[in-house]
Amino acid sequence: MNPELFAPDHTGYRPCRLKRFTAVLYFRIDASDVVVVGLFTSGENERGLQNRG
C-alpha cells in the first residue's frame, strides 16, 4: 500500500482507518521513512495525538 494515498488531517498526521479492526493508525512521512505516531481503537480519545511527534 502507498502511504502517500492518505492525506494529512488537521493535526498534520495521516490517518489510516483499518478495515479489519475498529482502529485508526496515524503516521507521518519523513524523507523515505514512514513513522507511526499513534494507534487509536474505538472509544479512545484522539486529542493526545497532538502531543506526539
Q: How many domains would you assign to the chain?
A: 1
Mean pLDDT calculated for residue range 29-44: 87
Q: What is the pLDDT of residue 3?
A: 92
11 within some domain = yes
Q: Residue 40's domain spans which residues?
A: 3-44
| Predicted model pTM | 0.74
Q: Say if CB 37 and CB 26 are below 8 A apart.
A: yes
49 within some domain = no
pLDDT tens figures, 24-33: 999 999 998 9
53 within some domain = no
Q: What is the pLDDT of residue 36?
A: 95
CA distance readout (Å), 10 to 1, 4, 19, 21: 23, 16, 22, 23
Q: What is the pLDDT of residue 37?
A: 93
